[in-house]
Amino acid sequence: MTRLLAVKLILVIGLLLALVGCGGNSSSNTPTNDEPAATTEVNVSLATTPDPPEGGEVELVATVTDAQGQPIEDAEVFFMANHTEMGGMAMEGQATAQGEGHYAITTNFSMGGTWKVTVQVNQGVSSTGDQRTVKEFDLGVE
Q: Where are the domains of the chain?
A: 2-26+37-141
Could you tell me where the beta strands, DSSP code E, fall in the chain? Answer: 42-49, 56-66, 75-83, 90-94, 96-99, 102-109, 113-123, 131-141
For range 58-69, the mean pLDDT: 96
Query: Is residue 19 pLDDT above 80, yes or no?
Result: no
Measured in degrees and rounded to the nearest 5, phi and psi for residue 102 equal -100, 135
Q: Report which residue type is found at 88.
A: G
- Per the CB < 8 A criterion, the answer to whether 95 and 78 are in contact is yes
pLDDT of amino acid 45: 98
- Per the CB < 8 A criterion, the answer to whether 26 and 134 are in contact is yes
Cut 0.85: pTM above it: no
pLDDT of amino acid 72: 95
Please report the sign of the dihedral spanned by the C-alpha atoms of residue 47, residue 64, residue 102, residue 22: negative
Burial per residue of 5-41, b for 16 or more beta-carbon CB atoms within 10 angstroms, e otherwise: eeeeeeebeeebeebeeeebebeeeeeeeeeeebeee
Domain 2-26+37-141, what fold?
Answer: Immunoglobulin-like (2.60.40)
pLDDT of amino acid 31: 38
Please report the sign of the dihedral spanned by the C-alpha atoms of residue 103, residue 107, residue 113, residue 118: negative
- Maximum distance among all Cα pairs of the chain, rounded to whole angstroms: 47
Query: Is residue 103 pLDDT above 50, yes or no?
Result: yes
pLDDT tens digits, one per residue of 4-14: 555 555 655 55
